[in-house]
């Protein structure tokens, strides 16, 4: 064996010795993650695939299922209740993309200027968020009671405008539930936005004041750009959660009266557990996932095109 061949063989041997530990280091994280991966496959991926398959059957929730193709989806398109639920979900999304976001930004902006006692305000804003939705809903059900609530009490003292069954009228049911849900949600946004605002460099505000900026200009040209990642994240999550909303609507109105506050989640629940149409319920649930996936895909597409969101 020549000298060059011998040197090449030694170099290859050293490279092989170096590659083995590197390969082990690469496998080690996967070994630690494997239990979590197996758990996710068991409790997330498995039921998800099962739901997709059930959406193409006429399964009632019991017994055997019969494959019916896209019949559930065709029925869904022509179902007036589904259309009402979808429109209500869009209304709900529009409400929660505007009212609580604006209130959260305003509350955080005002709270950022308070130096003493700020923690008390934070706690006061955050308490409704940590109370169980069942408790919140029952509190507001009592407040809005058309016989014993605050409306009849005000009417008895000469203010009749609130003596209305807000949860019992088709025109007001959805917006009343949205009001109750917003009451517990916007305080959480205040705390999140306030935490983001406190990370903004104070020197930027000082420079803005030297340039003659007022409070609104500071908020628009300094605060908003600096908290944009937090703001975009909350907007994205608001859209996703708006299509999954269930608890407050089901507790307060169960989608009524006359489906006026029906949303896709309550319609899927009614189909599965009241009418025993598990296949149709799975199809409705699949449409909810599709709408959410569209929103997330649009968000990722905009980011790849260079949008700073």
Q: How far apart are CA 287 and CA 86, in angstroms?
A: 10
The CA distances from residue 142 to 132, 134, 152, 250, 309, in Å, are: 16, 12, 12, 16, 42
In this predicted model, what pLDDT tens digit does every residue of 28-73 receive, in sequence order? 888 888 898 899 888 888 889 999 999 999 999 888 899 999 999 9
Q: How far apart are CA 135 and CA 267, in angstroms?
A: 23
What's the mean pLDDT in 260-283? 95
Query: Would the pLDDT of 77 be above 70?
Result: yes
| Contact indicator for 164, 149 with CB cutoff of 8 Å | no
Query: Would the pLDDT of 302 be above 90?
Result: no
What's the mean pLDDT in 154-171? 88
Q: How far apart are CA 7 and CA 13, in angstroms?
A: 10
pTM, rounded to two decimals: 0.84
- Chain centre distance of CA 244: 7
Query: Would the pLDDT of 1 be above 60?
Result: no
> Chain-wide mean pLDDT for the chain?
88
| Contact indicator for 224, 217 with CB cutoff of 8 Å | no
């Amino acid at each position: 064996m020549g000298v060059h061949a011998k040197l090449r063989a030694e170099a290859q041997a050293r490279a092989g010795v170096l590659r083995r530990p590197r390969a082990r280091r690469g496998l080690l994280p996967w070994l630690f993650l494997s239990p979590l991966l197996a758990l996710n496959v068991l409790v997330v991926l498995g039921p998800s695939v099962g739901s997709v398959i059930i959406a193409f059957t006429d399964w009632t929730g019991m017994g055997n299922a019969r494959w019916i193709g896209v019949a559930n989806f065709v029925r869904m398109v022509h179902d007036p209740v589904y259309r009402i639920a979808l429109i209500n979900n869009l209304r709900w999304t529009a409400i929660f993309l505007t009212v609580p976001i604006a209130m959260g930004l305003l509350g955080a902006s005002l709270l950022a200027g308070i130096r003493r006692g700020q923690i008390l305000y934070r706690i006061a804003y955050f308490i409704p968020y940590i109370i169980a939705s069942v408790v919140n809903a029952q509190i507001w059900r009592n407040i809005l009671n058309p016989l014993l609530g605050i409306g009849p009490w005000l009417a008895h003292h000469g203010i009749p405008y609130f003596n209305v069954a807000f949860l019992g009228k088709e025109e007001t049911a959805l917006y009343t539930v949205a009001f109750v849900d917003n009451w517990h949600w916007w305080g959480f946004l205040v705390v999140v936005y306030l935490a983001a605002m406190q990370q903004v460099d104070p020197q930027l505000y000082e420079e803005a004041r030297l340039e003659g900026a007022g409070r609104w200009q500071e908020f628009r040209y300094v605060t908003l750009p600096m908290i944009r990642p937090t703001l975009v994240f909350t907007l994205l999550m608001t859209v996703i959660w708006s299509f999954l909303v269930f608890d407050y609507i089901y507790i307060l109105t169960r989608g009524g009266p006359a489906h006026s506050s029906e949303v896709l989640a309550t319609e899927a629940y009614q189909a599965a557990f009241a009418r025993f149409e598990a296949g149709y319920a799975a199809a409705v649930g699949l449409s909810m996932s599709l709408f959410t996936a569209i929103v997330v895909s649009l968000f990722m597409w905009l980011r790849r095109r260079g949008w700073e969101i």
